[in-house]
């Protein structure tokens, strides 16, 4: 089983080298596709120097990930944020998990200096296990045939990962891998941990109530 890692990027040159360094770029059973949404920095040049295939797309994370999936050749798809690093042996863990499940995700660790980030990560992992909902920083993976059957990511400006999870849950629960992907704590540190937690829960509750994702995206920004 071959794995395609699809990474949507927009101006991520500052963090991209660390993410690329953790990827199995020389594994013949893994391909990495960076989908650029119009970066004005060195993101594309960094990816090409690392030997990563680059695809261009109109901006929008869901749109970019769908574009990458359309170009992918793998039996299995993994969607990776530019600020998230996969653990060692991720391909083998994904391949094994998807022998009996349609989809899955990793637990996360959050890197950063704030003392509460470890607690935030534990709560994210617990919430995901209880609800069966995965977020993008948990490196969602899925069988290619399943992804195509549900129509891919809904092309909405926010909560595309939540909506994808809801659709996939109809086919079965996720494989919840205890292996930890390491995601950057920059969102929590720049906005404040408590403020970010409150914002995200408020937006998710509004989405559950049927709010327009475009309005939620503006509130998020």
Whole-number Å distance between alpha carbons of 72 and 18 = 23
In a domain, 124, yes or no: yes
On the 0-12 / 13-18 / 19+ scale of CB atoms within 10 A, 178 is exposed
In a domain, 116, yes or no: yes
Whole-number Å distance between alpha carbons of 143 and 48 = 27
In a domain, 160, yes or no: yes
In a domain, 138, yes or no: yes
Question: Residue 209: what pLDDT?
Answer: 87
- Containing 90, the helix (H) or strand (E) segment is helix 90-97
Per-residue pLDDT of the chain (221 residues; tens, 9 = 90+): 899 999 999 999 999 999 999 998 889 999 999 999 999 999 999 999 999 999 999 999 999 999 999 999 999 999 999 999 999 999 999 999 999 999 999 999 999 999 999 999 999 999 999 999 999 999 999 999 999 999 999 999 999 999 999 999 999 999 999 999 999 999 888 888 888 888 888 988 888 888 888 888 888 77
In a domain, 200, yes or no: no
- CATH at 8: 3.90.550.10
In a domain, 193, yes or no: no
Inter-residue contact 101 to 168 (CB < 8 Å): no
- 109 pairs with which residues across the strands? 182
In a domain, 195, yes or no: no
Q: What is the DSSP string of 145-204?
A: HHHHHTTSS---SS-HHHHHHHHHHTT-PPEEEEEEEEEE-HHHHHH-HHHHHHHHHHHH
In a domain, 165, yes or no: yes
Split into its structural domains, the chain has a count of: 1
Cα three-residue angle 72-32-118, rounded to 5 degrees: 120
- Structural domain of 84: 3-186
Question: Residue 219: what pLDDT?
Answer: 81
On the 0-12 / 13-18 / 19+ scale of CB atoms within 10 A, 53 is middle
């Amino acid at each position: 089983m071959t794995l395609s890692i699809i990474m949507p990027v927009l101006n991520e040159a500052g963090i991209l080298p660390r993410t690329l360094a953790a990827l199995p770029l020389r594994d013949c059973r893994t391909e990495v596709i960076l989908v650029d949404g119009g970066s004005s920095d060195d993101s594309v040049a960094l990816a090409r120097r690392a030997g990563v295939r680059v695809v261009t797309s109109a901006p929008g994370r869901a749109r970019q990930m769908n574009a990458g999936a359309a170009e992918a050749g793998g039996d299995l798809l993994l969607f990776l944020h530019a600020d998230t690093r996969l653990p060692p042996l991720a391909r083998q863990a994904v391949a094994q998990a998807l022998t009996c499940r349609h989809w899955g995700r990793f637990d996360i660790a959050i890197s950063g200096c704030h003392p509460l980030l470890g607690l935030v990560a534990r709560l994210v992992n617990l919430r995901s296990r209880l609800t069966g909902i995965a977020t993008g920083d948990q490196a969602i993976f899925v069988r290619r045939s399943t992804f195509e059957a549900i129509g891919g990511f809904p092309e909405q400006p926010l909560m595309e990962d939540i909506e994808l999870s809801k659709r996939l849950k109809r086919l079965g629960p996720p494989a919840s891998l205890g292996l930890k992907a390491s995601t950057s704590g920059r969102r929590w540190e720049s906005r404040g941990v408590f403020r970010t937690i409150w914002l995200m829960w408020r937006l998710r509750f509004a989405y559950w109530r049927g709010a327009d994702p475009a309005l939620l995206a503006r509130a998020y920004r």
